[in-house]
Structure 1
């Protein structure tokens, strides 16, 4: 299989709209999202001095407001060719003008919102087929934050409540945009306690890799394989491949689940992971923990 020439940058979120004196540390990092931090890193990954960026707020319930926020944020960072592509439905996605704009784009960014909204508008369209083709055959950078990140997977968590325990039946999945066929992405990961629901999604779909992203945190994926963490928080790689014992397939729904050998890698800025080899890559040579 040919390695994609493009890059994927799923980001954990989150788009803040207001500030307050009572802001927590995570909320402060969230506000910095629209500053120079992770968006500037996204720009640095585009191999062009004056890139054309298409922002697609199709996941959002307030796309015009979301579009204006990104337009201002990128303008503040010096981007001159920033365009907002409003897509109302699947027919609108396949508008020839939108397909032409996609061909001209150096980078595409899907905003947050509800991943089901985004998937319903793009799944099985000519637009998503062209996006997949452009990602494979040229150096297109595709980023997504929150819902835009989750939708990149072949399978997406449609619904799934967080819980203190691993409970069977808490998760529903749906078909995603298939830019990341071997991965399930979950966002706002530690802030919303989503390890149990991502683990169940993996138990329901053996062989996939779970990637949990905290806010103001993302990963850059090159060649469809090499993953590197960016941002101020953590990126969690979750694997159930080495589990030998679980009652997941025997117990009825809403019962607690046990599982041995759940494997979790925690990436911080600069650390990496090879998806095909399932191998952790430190950001620099370090001594092994004894």
Structure 2
């Protein structure tokens, strides 16, 4: 299955977003979806406590003024083919993938009609958001496991297939709070064609609409760029530390935004241009 979503916006959240107390993130999602009357679907497939997760977000979205929120419970893979599930996503202007376990999320919806429906929704202009596990799953690749080790040892983290909305990137969440820099560095070092994106809690990376992206919330987005990497990682034994030279680290704090539009007040800086092209498809209006 080869997806390439082009038209909608993405809101990639590092988890533990503050709800009605801080409308920066969930409020921006409602805005990108089209406002208070926009139909919103909340997907709980990453969790085994779907009703609790839905209750949490139903309360939060309604407190922020959203009036048309519905749950999309996918408790087993077969549910991702149900007409009611597909209709809810097809009719949504905003789709929010809640957190839990990204491996559970992919096992339940990866490669299903719901997976196709999510890509179709973005292509027609919907806003797709994911928080925590839902954020990690948005990449073509995702972190499947790893520990907050003090060094980027070989084998310290694992990677698997994601939902395919963010090409050439791997996304990690709860980033600074759970000290995940080394597990992301370990994965990017083995896969230097990928840009590593680490998103702090209560922080989000907004991609689109149009040729722009922004960081909002309370923290920062950390980018691990291994495009000029020199390493002996392929010859390094598991559990040991490889030589890593030329890795670049970019930190983008909340409140920062860039655009590639010709008349942009804040154009994309040179160190971020490759990442920017990965985040924004050339067909995106």
TM-score (norm 1): 0.84
Query: 2:281 maps to what in 1?
Result: none
1:45-73 deviation digits (Å, cap 9, x = unpaired): 22345111001111113111111010011
Unaligned runs of 5+ in 2: 259-267, 277-285
1:146-161 alignment, distance < 5 Å: 146-161=132-147
Q: Partner residue of 1:255?
A: 240
2 CA distance for matches of 1:224 and 1:266?
Answer: 23
Instruction: Tell me, in whole angstroms, the C-alpha distance in 2 between the residues paired with 1:45 and 1:135.
Output: 12
- SS of residue matched to 1:66: helix
How far apart, in 1, do the equivalents of 2:210 and 2:121 lie?
13
* Pairing 1:116–2:103 present: yes
User: 119, 126, 131: which is aligned to 1:140?
Assistant: 126
Alignment coverage as a number of residue pairs:
262
Mapped partners of 2:75, 2:4: distance in 1: 33
Please tell me whether the aligned partners of residues 3 and 224 of structure 1 are also in contact (alpha carbons under 8 angstroms).
Answer: no
Q: Distance in 1 between matches of 2:226 and 2:151?
A: 16
Q: How far apart are 1:276 and its partner, in Å? A: 8.3
Q: Secondary structure at the match of 2:167?
A: coil
Q: In structure 2, which of residues 77, 86, 104 is the aligned counterpart of residue 99 of structure 1?
A: 86
Q: Determine the C-alpha separation between the residues in 2 that align with 1:279 and 1:120.
A: 28
Determine whether 1:277 maps to 2:273: yes
CA distance change for structure 1 residues 248 and 152 in 2, over 3 Å: closer, same or farther?
Answer: same
Residue of structure 1 aligned with 2:30, choices 17, 39, 43? 43
Change (3 A) 1:239 1:167: same
Evaluate the alpha carbon distance shift between residue 3 and residue 179 of structure 1 in structure 2; reply closer, same or farther with a 3 A threshold: closer
> Does 1:72 pair with 2:59?
yes
2:228 and 2:206 mapped to 1: Cα distance? 26
